[in-house]
Amino acid sequence: MIAEPTQPTVAAAQIEFWFDFGSNYSHISAMRIERAAAERGVRVIWKPFLLGPIFKTFGWNTSPFVAHRALGDYMWKDMIRQCAKYGVPWRQPSIFPRLSVLPLRVALVGVDQPWIGEYCRRIMRRNFVEDRDIHTPEAVGEILDALGLPAADLIARAQAEPNKLKLRESTDTAQASGVFGAPTFFARGEMFWGNDRLDDALEFAVGPSAS
């Protein structure tokens, strides 16, 4: 009997994408990460978390883009240029940052489901392209309906205590890992901050090329 060749245990390259639906630079990454990762054979692990409680640990009661006018004024100009550069649709929202707890809770319910990417892009599009609120059951339900998903059931599971706790735990994990902004990426244990580092993080996820 001929022995089967031993199958080497090779973990597929992966990247963790830590994001908040209220974060504008997370919008750019959410729109482009699945394609950019697929081109390099990297799997995306979606990591919804709440940025606000982390800002609070710094003594910040809101986004630095709101607290400091010079930063905010610049950021809105930068967003126009960056979205144009990456071909990502964009309209400056009339409310910033928007409440994001419910859509994040639903994202946690769906984090391992095939619809997670499309769901996240649609929430981002609603906030940062359509300039509409994303925190109500109606808003989230509309998007889940459009994806052919059981909206009422998913929202009920999202709002159940164990899942609420999950979002708090996710936020605690982010903070304990050194996350201080969004988007943040982890690849092979290294942290990369900001949409500007997404490509570097993906290259790092793939690892040194065999030569």
Residues at the site binding its own copies, with contacts judged by CB under 8 A: 58, 68, 70-71, 73-74, 77-78, 81, 85, 178-180, 190-193, 196-197, 200
Q: What pairs with residue 46 in β-bridges?
A: 17
Residue whose CB is less far from its own copies, 129 or 179:
179
Tell me how far, at minimum, the Cβ of 128 lies from its own copies, in Å: 20
Tell me how far, at minimum, the Cβ of 150 lies from its own copies, in Å: 39
Tell me how far, at minimum, the Cβ of 196 lies from its own copies, in Å: 5
Residue whose CB is less far from its own copies, 54 or 120:
54
Write the Ramachandran bin of 87: left for phi over 0, alpha for psi from -120 to 50, otherwise beta. left
Residue whose CB is less far from its own copies, 35 or 69:
69
Report the amino acid identity of residue 94.
S
First CA to last CA distance, the chain: 36
* Element counts in the chain: helices (H) and strands (E): 10, 4
**Crossing angle between the packed helical segments 69-86 and 24-39, to the nearest 10 degrees:** 30
The CA distance from 97 to 60, in Å, is 14
At residue 186, what are phi and psi to the nearest 5 degrees? -120, 135
Tell me how far, at minimum, the Cβ of 104 lies from its own copies, in Å: 21
Residue whose CB is less far from its own copies, 60 or 115:
60
Tell me how far, at minimum, the Cβ of 184 lies from its own copies, in Å: 9
Write the Ramachandran bin of 24: left for phi over 0, alpha for psi from -120 to 50, otherwise beta. alpha
Residue whose CB is less far from its own copies, 13 or 191:
191
